[in-house]
Amino acid sequence: MANISESFQLELPYEIDSEDLESLSHLPDPETQDEPLLCQASEKVNPKQQSQDESEQLKITNEELKDKLVIMAEECNRLSEIIVAKDVEIASLSEEWEAAIFDLTSFLTDGCRSLDDAYQNIDNMISSFPHSSSSVSEHVEKAMKVSIEKDKMIFKLQIELQAAQKIGREVKEKLHILRGATLAITEAQQLDNEESSQEELQLVGLLRQKDGIIQELKNNLKAEKCRYAEIVAEHSCNDLIPPDSSIDMIEERPHDESQPTVSQANPDYQSKLDSVIHLVEDKSNKVLNLFSNFEAAQETMEEAELMLSALLKANEELKLERDDCRQAMGLLLSEKTFLISELKELEKSTSYTSQRYDKLHQQIDDCVLEMANLAATMRGSFDQVQRVSTVELFALCSEIITFGRDLKRYIRESRSCMVNMVSLIEEKGSSTEQFKHLNADTSGSACQQVELRSCQCGSSKPDFSQSDNSTDYASLRKEFDRKSNIAEGLSFDLKLLQESTSNAKDMKDKADEISTALSKVQRELDIKTNAMENMLKKQKALEEELAENCAVITTLRSELEQSQILSSALLRENKDLRVILEEETVKHTEIKVLLEDKINVIEGLESQILLLNRSEVGQLLSDIEELNNSIKLISNDRENLQAEILTLRDRLEMAMALSEENEAAAVEARQTAEISKIYAEEKEEEVKILERSVEELEGTVTVLEEEVCNLKEEVRTYQLHKQSEDQLQAVGDMLSVEKASTCDAAEELCQGKCHIEKLHFQCRRLHQDARKRIERLTLDVKRKDDEIRQYKKHIAELILHSEAQSLLFQEKYHEMEDMVSRQKSQESSSEIVHAKNEKPSGRARRSGSPFRCISSIVQQMNSEKDQEISVARQRIEELEGLVSGKQKEICLLTSRLAAVDTMTHDIIRELLGVKLDMTNYANLLDQEELQKLLIVSQQQIEQSKAKDTELETLREELGQVILERDSLLDDMDQRKTDLLETQLLVEQLEQREQMLETQIEILQLEKDSLQQKIMEMDETMELLIGPNQPDANQRMHHGSSSEFSRRLAQSDMLLSHARHEHSRNHASRSSRTHHGRHR
């Protein structure tokens, strides 16, 4: 029997745990188990002992169940560790695959750059495939070649797009520079117009002041004449008038009735002589004043001659500039035609490139469709495999776990049964031996033995008979046979379990392999999807660049139209300038005639004055010297005042410039403040959005907390259910203990136990699922908490950033307020200084001739022209630097083109080498494969030819683009120079017009002064000559005065005509400027 037990233990597949041994040690001995079977009467007598035993057995069963739970928890931990290890292995494998994919991508990129290595790799890949499947190798070769060619095309297109983008950016930068230059020129023109208008207003004010001074002088002269007449009347009352006295003085003399009419002869004659002497002295002083005035007029005439010579020179320069403008207009027309032709060529090239882009778009769309179909098929297969594998794995795991638990349970039960059987068989064997010995002995000894047996058992049974022993032996034999059959069935079940476990392991290995393969396929799909996304992004970028190129072309067309409009406007302005020049030449000739007439008149007046003043030459010379000295002093004072006025003007200009800069700074600060406000509003909106998201997250957290509470309640119900099941199991164990006597009861107990264990397993599964759900929910809660923390941190950072920005904006606002207050104070101080400086300027202009002011203005104009020439030289130097930089870029491009040529030659050589290798490989293959390879090689040759043609077209396009860029640069430089020249011409013409206006006004003032002087001379001549002069002199004087009046009338007509034309030209110029500004 010991051998049978040892053989049974060897057949077991699993070793007995220490906990199982402990459970066996806790089990009662076979003798104690036999006692309730043999002695039921004693148990019925002692119910208290039975209940105690049952309670102890329940405790034992509870402890066993607890131990089983602990074992199951340990198994779950072990399985979780295994799963973690598997996940780590999967992660390591994924990293290895990613590294392999990265190596593959780098290898492919290197293959695109060097075709030799790529083709060698293709040969290696083809050789890796079996020789029997030649179609597979051909398809692989074709696919690899097509992918390499596509990569090459994409790389070339990227390079072309980058070059086109660079050209477009350069053109945009040049356009921005041109716009800035035009804006600066217009601003300079506006500033010049404003300055000229201010100067005109100042000149008008000065003229009005001079008119007022002249009127004051006239009033003073009238008052002095009246006083002189009164004095003469007092001295020569009731006397004879001398022959040298004038008729006007007689008429103006007052009649005093109070003086005496008759006096003595001698004293009256002496008084008359004194009065005559005084009159002669006064007249001599007046003659000296007239002489000084004539000298001043001579000086003004000399200055006018100098100005006329300067005007003649300027007229010649204007003619030369007009010729230059004509030449420039011819150049502009030629450039316009050249630009139109270039635009046509650009449109052709853009149409060709658009066609190419359409073809590429079609190819990309086909590739995208193919990749999408492949991805869909792969995803479907992956989902199917995943579903099947996951379902089968879960089912197998559950079956294996249940089977293992059932096996352990059956093993424990069979062990207990086998131990009981062995003990029973040993007892029966000992009893049979004793029975044989008793049969040999006497019946007395048999009775004694029966009595001893009954005493040991503590029962009052009758003696056993021989028939009873035989029946017991037969029943024991049957039980032994039944138990042996059960053991054989258990051994068969164990073998089946071993096979099922091996099959499960194989299935698990297959599932792992399938999962790894699926992960590989999924990674490849991800890579391909990323590649497709990159292709789509590149396609979008190409479309955007095409749109940008179209926009650039439209802008260039609009700029050409604007240049055409500008050229037409310049032509019109040139025509107007020609008309103005012709009118100015006519005016110049008329002014010359007037000046000659005035010179003749002045010469006649000088001859008359010399005839009158021959007797008093000495006194006049001394008076003239004194007057010259006083004039020199006044001229010096005038020059000093003019210098001060110039300095004050410079200061005013500086103050105006500072005010304009401050205004620009204020505008910029306002713009920055507005931008900052907009940015702050955007940040506030972001903060609001984040607050909303935080509220939503809090809502989700509350929902999750409610779910956790529900799960806790479910766990509690599950624990209560588990406790009830434990109680039921305890009751079932009790029933099994009570009904262990019969086999039917034992079978029913086994069925009940199986049912209870199934229920227990289901409850355990529910408990595990609930635990998993609780773990998932806890992880979700942790993740949500982390997200909430991150959002709170982000909100705090945004709040800090917004506070810092608000502080910066407040500081900038305070700085702007300080700037505005300073500007207001500077403007007030500059106005005070300007008001103070205007007073001495008005006083200083009283003395001195206006032609000197004109000469100073001419000097200023010359200095400004020199400054403009220096600025133009600096611009020319800058343009030369730009040209040198562009030449360097062209050299770099040529070097790159040469490198590209060398690369193409190398690639062609490598292609020839690859072709030779392919021919060698084709010789080894069959005739059909040779034909196929020949077809493929012809296709490759055609593709290479097409690529060569494309390369040639691209080179031609590059050359055309370079030529177009150079022509555009030259056009831009020429346009800049033409614009500067036209601006200079316009400014010079405006300055000359202003000079002519000032000259016309000065001549008018001189005419008025000459008329007044002539009137005064007439009066003095009448006073000096008297009524006794012969009639011939009167006639001569009347004839000269009539000629002079006729000439003055002519000059007045010419001046009025000149004014009318000037006003008309000014109106046309203002309309042109208004039209240009509107444009």
Distance of CA 596 to the CA centre of its chain: 73
pLDDT (0 to 100) of residue 524? 74
Q: Cα–Cα distances in Å, from 131 out to 660, 920, 926, 931? A: 86, 16, 11, 17
Q: Is the pLDDT of residue 244 over 60?
A: no
Three-class DSSP category at 133? coil
Per-domain residue ranges for the chain?
A: 102-135
Mean of pLDDT values over 218-234? 73
Q: How far is residue 1078's CA from residue 353's CA, in Å, rounded to a whole number?
A: 39
Q: Enter the DSSP assignment of 499.
A: H
Contact between 196 and 864 (Cβ < 8 Å): no
Q: Is the pLDDT of residue 458 over 60?
A: no
Q: How far is residue 476's CA from residue 271's CA, in Å, rounded to a whole number?
A: 200
The closest alpha carbon to 964, from 157, 338, 355, 176, belongs to 338
45-66 tens-digit pLDDT? 455 566 667 667 777 877 777 7
Q: Which of the four pLDDT bands, split at 50, 70 and 90, describes residue 181?
A: low
Q: How far is residue 744's CA from residue 623's CA, in Å, rounded to a whole number?
A: 171
Q: How far is residue 1079's CA from residue 186's CA, in Å, rounded to a whole number?
A: 12
Contact between 404 and 494 (Cβ < 8 Å): no
Q: Enter the DSSP assignment of 254.
A: -
The closest alpha carbon to 547, from 770, 357, 781, belongs to 357
926-967 tens-digit pLDDT? 556 656 666 776 777 787 777 777 777 777 877 777 787 777
Contact between 420 and 30 (Cβ < 8 Å): yes
Q: How far is residue 878's CA from residue 884's CA, in Å, rounded to a whole number?
A: 10
Q: Is the pLDDT of residue 1074 over 50?
A: no
pLDDT (0 to 100) of residue 20? 40
Q: How far is residue 574's CA from residue 325's CA, in Å, rounded to a whole number?
A: 8
Better-scored residue on pLDDT, 327 or 135: 327
Q: What is the rounded average pLDDT for all residues in the chain?
A: 65
Mean of pLDDT values over 1011-1021? 76
pLDDT (0 to 100) of residue 592? 74
pLDDT (0 to 100) of residue 837? 45
pLDDT (0 to 100) of residue 44? 45
Neighbour-count burial of 486, counting CB atoms closer than 10 A to its CB (0-12 exposed, 13-18 middle, 19+ buried)? middle
66-118 tens-digit pLDDT? 777 788 777 767 777 777 777 777 777 767 766 766 666 666 566 556 555 55
pLDDT (0 to 100) of residue 608? 65
Write the CB contacts of 141 (distance below 8 Å, at least 6 apart in sequence). Answer: 122, 126, 936
Three-class DSSP category at 974? helix
Q: How far is residue 564's CA from residue 119's CA, in Å, rounded to a whole number?
A: 57
Q: Which of the four pLDDT bands, split at 50, 70 and 90, describes residue 447?
A: very low
pLDDT (0 to 100) of residue 173? 74
Q: Enter the DSSP assignment of 258.
A: S
The closest alpha carbon to 759, from 734, 735, 724, belongs to 724
Three-class DSSP category at 1059? helix
Q: Which two tokens stand for residue 234?
A: 């007092």
- DSSP string for residues in 54-108: HHHHHHHHHHHHHHHHHHHHHHHHHHHHHHHHHHHHHHHHHHHHHHHHHHHHHHH
Better-scored residue on pLDDT, 978 or 466: 978
Better-scored residue on pLDDT, 230 or 850: 230
Contact between 250 and 241 (Cβ < 8 Å): yes
Whose tokens are 């066993």? That residue is: 64
Q: Which of the four pLDDT bands, split at 50, 70 and 90, describes residue 904?
A: low
Cα dihedral 486, 492, 496, 498, rounded to 10, equals: 100
pLDDT (0 to 100) of residue 978? 79
pLDDT (0 to 100) of residue 33? 39
Better-scored residue on pLDDT, 239 or 176: 176
pLDDT (0 to 100) of residue 537? 80
Q: Is the pLDDT of residue 1079 over 50?
A: no
pLDDT (0 to 100) of residue 276? 60
Q: Which of the four pLDDT bands, split at 50, 70 and 90, describes residue 911?
A: low
748-788 tens-digit pLDDT? 555 555 655 666 566 667 666 767 777 777 777 777 777 77
Q: Highest mean pLDDT range out of 175-179, 267-271, 315-319, 854-858?
A: 315-319
Q: Which of the four pLDDT bands, split at 50, 70 and 90, describes residue 806?
A: low
Write the CB contacts of 302 (distance below 8 Å, at least 6 apart in sequence). Answer: none
Percentage of the chain beyond pLDDT 70 is 41
Q: Is the pLDDT of residue 641 over 50?
A: yes
Q: Enter the DSSP assignment of 242.
A: P
pLDDT (0 to 100) of residue 230? 74
Q: Cα–Cα distances in Å, from 699 out to 520, 696, 784, 786? A: 40, 5, 11, 15
Q: Which of the four pLDDT bands, split at 50, 70 and 90, describes residue 1045?
A: low
Neighbour-count burial of 807, counting CB atoms closer than 10 A to its CB (0-12 exposed, 13-18 middle, 19+ buried)? exposed
pLDDT (0 to 100) of residue 240? 41
pLDDT (0 to 100) of residue 916? 72
Q: Which two tokens stand for residue 323?
A: 């010729």
3-state secondary structure 751-781: HHHHHHHHHHHHHHHHHHHHHHHHHHHHHHH
Write the CB contacts of 67 (distance below 8 Å, at least 6 apart in sequence). Answer: 19, 22, 23
Q: Cα–Cα distances in Å, from 913 out to 109, 116, 908? A: 21, 8, 9
Contact between 751 and 83 (Cβ < 8 Å): no
Q: Which of the four pLDDT bands, split at 50, 70 and 90, describes residue 460?
A: very low
Q: Which of the four pLDDT bands, split at 50, 70 and 90, describes residue 216?
A: confident
Q: Is 1026 left (phi over 0), alpha (psi -120 to 50) or beta?
A: left
pLDDT (0 to 100) of residue 22? 40
Q: How far is residue 756's CA from residue 762's CA, in Å, rounded to a whole number?
A: 10
Better-scored residue on pLDDT, 737 or 458: 737
pLDDT (0 to 100) of residue 902? 72
- Find the range with the poorest average confidence among 12-26, 255-269, 622-636, 915-929: 12-26
- Looking at the whole model, is its pTM more than 0.75? no
C-beta atoms surrounding 288 within 10 Å: 20
365-389 tens-digit pLDDT? 777 777 677 767 767 766 666 665 5
C-beta atoms surrounding 1019 within 10 Å: 14
pLDDT (0 to 100) of residue 8? 37
pLDDT (0 to 100) of residue 825? 59
Better-scored residue on pLDDT, 640 or 284: 640
Q: Enter the DSSP assignment of 854.
A: H
527-570 tens-digit pLDDT? 777 777 777 787 777 777 777 777 777 777 777 777 677 777 77
Q: How far is residue 209's CA from residue 212's CA, in Å, rounded to a whole number?
A: 5
Q: Which of the four pLDDT bands, split at 50, 70 and 90, describes residue 874?
A: confident
Mean of pLDDT values over 341-360? 73
Mean of pLDDT values over 307-335? 71
Write the CB contacts of 501 (distance below 8 Å, at least 6 apart in sequence). Answer: 400
Contact between 611 and 282 (Cβ < 8 Å): no
Q: Enter the DSSP assignment of 14.
A: S
E strands within 888-1040? Answer: none
